[in-house]
Amino acid sequence: MNSKERIKKSIHHEEPDKVPYDLAGTTVTAITCNAYVNAMNYRGFSTGYQTPVIDPIQQIVTPVEENLVKLKSDTRRIGAQRIPEYKSRKKTIGKVERVTDFYGCNWERDLDKDLYFNQVTFPLETYPSLSECIHKIHYPYWDYYVSILHRDLTRQVTFIEGYCCVADRHTAGLTENSLRIRGYEQWYMDTILDKKGVELLLDKILEDKIRYWDTLIDWAVQNDCEDQIDIISECDDLGSQSATILDPDDLRHMVIPRFRILFGHVKKRLPSVKSFLHSCGAIRELIPDLIEAGVDILNPVQYTARGMDLVDLKKDFGKDLVFWGGGIDTQTVLNGESPVMIKDVIKENLDIMAPGGGFVFAPVHNIQDDVSPENFWAMWETLQEYGKY
């Protein structure tokens, strides 16, 4: 059974030969540069990673193909860079690097103290009314962006034979981008005082997402490889550790219907594709709505958040939803416990999530810089030993 067959079986709620494993299939199931280099050095592997860096904001890298094979990752990613041509477009002043993203948000990283980039400007933050400034959003380099995307897809597609091909998003989610464009305080005030403006901004982001997916699918059709795309991956963090980011009814009214439009549009063009949604946090009460909106796969399955107990999730939603993640917590366990504890936690989570298929192993979000090589390999070895059906 090859990787593509293994994941297809699991996402159709059947048990394959072993639990599928995703490393670097998306920019939310990946590994940071420093954690990757440390882990590979520990075993004497090549520390090479594919360039350009897929997500410099998070410092996320894609291992070279040789290492993806050694690590037995069942996925291969195709899709956009978060900051196209990052190295040539970044500006460095002293020890501070600055980059500008798709929506004109500026991000900075102090090389002496920052592991990742921090957002420093919010394009629509200073305007008194969101409704009146939507027209200010523009993307001066869309044609350039498309040319880079086509080039990257041509390179990426050479690695997908025999693997689960995940077509990944180009920007953050509907609410995430709204917050970054408008500014956090202003956007939350808008959700009370200017709901029309909030919905206009969400529509603009949705329009851009549909344009991106049409561009990617058009390229795939032209290159006769649309049937090779198994999964399309989107995201939006709709929860905090203890609650949803807005009243659930507001999310049901403003956000989830737009995901229904997005996934419906893509599935009309790619009927056999499965839709993957990344949302951290306490989102249990939204799961039925997400399923109804067309979500087939949920990530990262943050089981430490309120209401996200793995046993209950599997029991209540395991027939309708594939859980892609939840293998081990990255906030407190993978980064802070002993290899023995990591082994015990993963064995327990496999016992809960693996039966009946519908499960792809990945940690809860990306593997961060504070994960030691010993802990990375304890995770990997435990999956190899105990992840067999």
What secondary structure letter does DSSP report for 68?
H
User: Which residues have a Cβ under 8 Å from the Cβ of 95 and sit 6 or more positions away?
Assistant: 110, 111, 112
Residue ranges and CATH numbers for the domains of the chain are 3-85+124-386 (3.20.20.210)
pTM: 0.97
Average pLDDT, the chain: 96
What's residue 229's pLDDT? Answer: 98
pLDDT band at 140 (very low <50, low <70, confident <90, very high): low
Rounded percentage of the chain residues whose pLDDT exceeds 70: 100
Query: 139 pLDDT exceeds 80?
Result: no
Enumerate the H helices of the chain as residue ranges. Answer: 3-11, 33-43, 65-70, 86-89, 142-156, 174-182, 184-193, 195-222, 248-254, 256-269, 287-292, 310-317, 339-353, 373-386
The residue with greater pLDDT, 53 or 387, is 387
CB 197 within 8 A of CB 190: yes
363-372 residue pLDDT tens? 999 999 999 9
What secondary structure letter does DSSP report for 247?
-
Torsion of CA 206, 325, 53, 334, to 10 degrees: 140
38-95 residue pLDDT tens? 999 999 999 999 988 899 999 999 999 999 999 999 999 999 999 988 888 899 999 9
CA nearest neighbour of 346 among 372, 380, 321: 380
Q: Which two tokens stand for residue 85?
A: 């041509």
CB 213 within 8 A of CB 154: no
241-272 residue pLDDT tens? 999 999 999 999 999 999 999 999 999 999 99
Query: 185 pLDDT exceeds 90?
Result: yes
What's residue 137's pLDDT? Answer: 86
Query: 96 pLDDT exceeds 90?
Result: yes
User: Rounded to the nearest 5°, which phi and psi values hold at 313?
Assistant: -60, -45
120-131 residue pLDDT tens? 999 999 999 999
Query: 146 pLDDT exceeds 70?
Result: yes
With b for 16 or more beta-carbon neighbours within 10 A and e for fewer, the 336-354 pattern comes to: ebebeebbebbeebbebbb
291-319 residue pLDDT tens? 999 999 999 999 999 999 999 999 999 99
